[in-house]
Amino acid sequence: MDVLALSRLQFAVTTMFHFIFVPLTLGLSVLTAWFETGYVRTGDETYLRMAKFWGKLFLINFALGVVTGITQEFQFGMNWAEYSRYVGDIFGAPLAIEATAAFFLESVFIGLWIFGWNKISKTTHAIAIWLVAIGTNLSALWILLANGWMQRPVGFILRNGRAEMNDFMAVVTNPYGWFKFLHTVTSGYMVAAFFVMGIAAWHLLRKNEVDFFTRSFKTAAMFGLLSGLAVGVTGDFHAVEIAKVQPTKFAAMESVWETGRRVPMHLLLVPDEANERNGVETLSIPAMVSMLAFHDPDAEIRGLKSFPKDERPPVLPVFLSFRLMVGLGTLMIGLCLLAVIMPRWKHFVNFKLFLGVMVAALPLPYLAVQLGWLVAELGRQPWVVYGVLKTASGVSSSVSVVQVAGSLLGFTLLYGLLGAIDIFLLVKYAKKGPDNDTTGMIPVKEVA
C-alpha cells in the first residue's frame, strides 16, 4: 500500500472510531438535561436519580469522544498537508469557531455540572447541563458545516494556487451542510434513545428498579420515535440536495449507469461495476429514483456512464451501505413505535421477548450511522473537495509509507485499548444501576 492508501485508511479508522462516541454524546446530553429538568419542575427525586445515572454514562462517553477527536485535526497537518495548504483558509474557519465557541461552552459548563451539586441552585445546575447539550450540538454544527463545504464547496475563489474564502455567509448557510447537520444530529438522538432503551430493557428483564427504568424507557422511546421520523424527513431533503450537487454520489447510491427519465428503484440488486451495468434486475419500483431525487417521477437522472471513469465513486460499497442504512432506519422507527405503545399495557415488564429484542437492538443505530458516513465519504470519491481537489492531490508529500503505517498501527492499538476501557466502564456502571441513596446529590434549594 502507498502513502495515499494508508493515509485514507488511517483517517477512516480514526474517524469511524471517534464517531462511535459522538452520536451518543449528542443525544444523551439532551436526555440527561430533560431528566434533570423533570426534577426541577416536579421535585420528584426519581428524575434526579435518572439524571445522575444517565449523566454518569454520558460523562464516560464524553471523555472518550474528546480524546479521540483531538487526533483528527492533527492529521490534517500531518497526513493531509497539501489539502490543508490548498483549502485551509476556508476549512479552518468553522473548525476554529467550533473550538473557541462551542467546545469552550460545553467544556466550561460540564465542569460546573459535575462539581456543582450542592453548591448552586437546582435551576442553575439544570441550566448548566442544557448549556452542555447546546454546546455539544453546536460543535456538531460547525464541524458538519466544514464537512458540508468539502461536499459542496461554496463562497470561495481560486487564487495563487489555493482556494480562498470570499463569502463567509455562503459557507455558513450552505444548504448541504445544514441538511447534513440535521440528519446527523437526529441520527445521534436515535443512538441515545436505543442506548437508554437497551439498558432499561436489560434491567426490566431482571425486574430491577421497575419504576425507574420504565420511566426511562418511555421517555427514550418517544425521543427515539420523534428523532427517527426527523431522520427520515431530513434524509429525504438531503438526498434531493445530493442529487442536485453530487450526481455521481447519487448515481452510485442507486446504481444508475444509464442516463434516463422515470428511473426505477431496484430493491434487490447486485451492481455489476466491472461491466458497468446494473446487474441482475429483480423487484423494482417504477420511477421511484426520479421521484426521490427531484420529487418528480419524470425527472432525469444522470447515469454513471456520463461521467469519466476516474471521477466515479466505488459503486458497490456505496450502494450496499445506503440500502442497509435505510433498511435499519426503517426497522428502528418500527421498534420505536412499538416501544411507545407497549409500556402503556399493564404487564409491560412481562413481555420478555420484546424487551430482549430491545436489548439486542442497542447496536443498530451505531451501525446505521457508520453506514451513513461510508455513503457520505466513499460517495464523494475521488474528490476530497468535490469538483475542486482530488484526494490523491491532498495527501502530504513529505511522509513515508513507514511513517504512516507506524502511526496507523499506533492509533489502532491505542484506540483498541481506549475502546476496551470505554466498554468496560459503560457496562460496569450500566449493570450497577442507579444509586439508591440521594444524600449529597441534591442541589441546594432555590435562592428566595
279 domain residue, yes or no: no
From the centroid of its chain, how far is CA 112? 26
Instruction: Please tell me the distance from the alpha carbon of residue 209 to that of residue 83, in angstroms, as a whole number.
Output: 53
75 domain residue, yes or no: yes
341 domain residue, yes or no: yes
pTM above 0.95, yes or no: no
> Are 328 and 187 within 8 A, CB to CB?
no
Q: Give whole-number Cα distances, 5 to 9, 176, 395, 396, 406, in Å.
A: 6, 27, 10, 12, 14
Exposed e or buried b for every residue in 313-331, given b needs 16+ CB within 10 A? bebbbbbbbbbbbbebbee
271 domain residue, yes or no: no
362 SS3 class: coil
Q: What is the CA radius of gyration of the chain?
A: 23
Nearest by Cα to 239 from 285, 179, 311: 179
Instruction: Please tell me the distance from the alpha carbon of residue 152 to that of residue 180, in angstroms, as a whole number.
Output: 11
pLDDT for residue 278: 60
Nearest by Cα to 378 from 218, 190, 281, 246: 246
What's the domain count of the chain?
Answer: 1
Tell me which residue has cell 471521477.
Answer: 311
- The domain of 43 spans 3-259+302-432
Residues 6+ apart with CB under 8 A from 127: none
438 domain residue, yes or no: no
pLDDT for residue 438: 59
286 domain residue, yes or no: no
Instruction: Please tell me the distance from the alpha carbon of residue 83 to that of residue 101, in angstroms, as a whole number.
Output: 25
Instruction: Please tell me the distance from the alpha carbon of residue 22 to that of residue 27, in angstroms, as a whole number.
Output: 9
pLDDT for residue 446: 44
Tell me phi and psi for residue 82, to 5 degrees.
Answer: -65, -35
Exposed e or buried b for every residue in 143-168, given b needs 16+ CB within 10 A? bbbbbbbbbbbbbbeeeeeebebeee
294 domain residue, yes or no: no
Strands (E), 142-292: 156-159, 162-165, 260-261, 265-266, 284-285
Instruction: Please tell me the distance from the alpha carbon of residue 421 to that of residue 403, in angstroms, as a whole number.
Output: 27
pLDDT for residue 280: 52
Q: pLDDT means per 10 residues in the chain (448 residues)?
A: 86 86 92 94 90 92 81 79 87 87 87 88 92 92 92 90 90 93 95 96 91 93 95 92 92 88 78 60 77 88 90 91 93 94 82 92 94 93 91 86 88 87 90 72 46
Give the amino acid at 380: R
Instruction: Please tell me the distance from the alpha carbon of residue 15 to that of residue 12, in angstroms, as a whole number.
Output: 5
281 domain residue, yes or no: no
269 SS3 class: coil
